[in-house]
Amino acid sequence: MRLGYYPGCSLEGSSREFDESTRALLKALKVDLVEVPDWNCCGASSAHALDPQLAIALPLRILALAERAGLEEVLAPCAACSNRLLSAQKHLRDHPESKAEIERAMGLGYEGTVRVVNVLEVLGRLQGEIVAGLRTPFAHRVAAYYGCLLVRPPDVVRFDRPEDPRSMDALVKLVGGVPVEWPFKTECCGAALSLTRTDLVGKLGARLVRDAVQRGAEALVVACPLCHSNLDLRRPAINACLEAPSAIPVLFITQVIGLAMGLEPEALGLHRHLVPVAFAPSGAAAGRA
């Protein structure tokens, strides 16, 4: 299976392990990733906060390049990137009159043939292959944390359920994990305030970590680089808001499934987390065997 790939900037930097684990896992699942040529930043939160026009134009350039490269589907593992790409597509559907002007600015045409998919969607399609490749079940209780941008706004992303999504829980179960029922699945982590209002990111993260720990989760599982860095890199700020500091690790869903399929922890970038993955990763033994 051939699939377009838009890693986005975070996956080249602070969330390298999301890129590494996505590539390693999809390779094991026999998916060929074709990177969108000369891709640019999607603009993330900053473009739409300051310049709504730019927030449409930046993602459209990426989609136009993907289309020119003959890619019908593009996987954007970063939830913010996939959300921005989908928002730009919705904008074009709602305002077809703006298309010509943006195309002129880009110097590229865009017919709108590219489908944008997130990592949970792609893995959901590959359940048969995942089960066939299972080595050691990931036998841990985890809190599947979706954050905002994978499921909201529902009319933009058209994915799963906005209040109580299940797709990641289903993947965790598929590889032997036990997802806890908890009410913070789609609460915001503080997103782009990480650098400027670290105090608020600590406060919001503390609500998530506290509840996950109280429900007996051994790890938080995410599918968004911003969720990950706010829960992992920002753990000191979170712990400052907690009654007892927590060392609960935060894993990407691609790492969880990769471990269960016997991939090497190193190949999945597990060593890059600032909060160490403390429980014995159940896939590690099989990976080395």
Interface contacts to another protein, rule CB under 8 A:
9-10, 12-16, 38-41, 43-55, 57-58, 61, 105-108, 148-149, 152-154, 162-163, 186-188, 190-193, 195-198, 200, 204, 233, 271-274
* Min CB(28)–another protein separation in Å: 22
DSSP H helical ranges for 158-242:
167-174, 198-214, 225-231, 235-239
* Min CB(62)–another protein separation in Å: 10
Residue number, 71 or 148, with CB nearest to another protein: 148
* Min CB(277)–another protein separation in Å: 13
Q: Between the CA atoms of 158, 120, 40 and 14, what dihedral angle is there, to the nearest 10 degrees?
A: 130
Residue number, 60 or 219, with CB nearest to another protein: 60
Residue number, 126 or 227, with CB nearest to another protein: 227
Distance, in Å, from the CA atom of 232 to the CA atom of 43, rounded to the nearest integer, reads 23
Nearest partner of 88 among 118, 39, 43, judged by Cα? 43
Residue 204 CB partners (closer than 8 Å, separation 6+): 187, 188, 189, 190, 230
Nearest partner of 135 among 281, 250, 247, judged by Cα? 281
* Min CB(128)–another protein separation in Å: 32
* Min CB(13)–another protein separation in Å: 5
Q: State whether residue 161 is helix, strand or coil.
A: coil
Nearest partner of 146 among 118, 123, 165, judged by Cα? 165
Residue number, 133 or 205, with CB nearest to another protein: 205
Residue number, 28 or 45, with CB nearest to another protein: 45
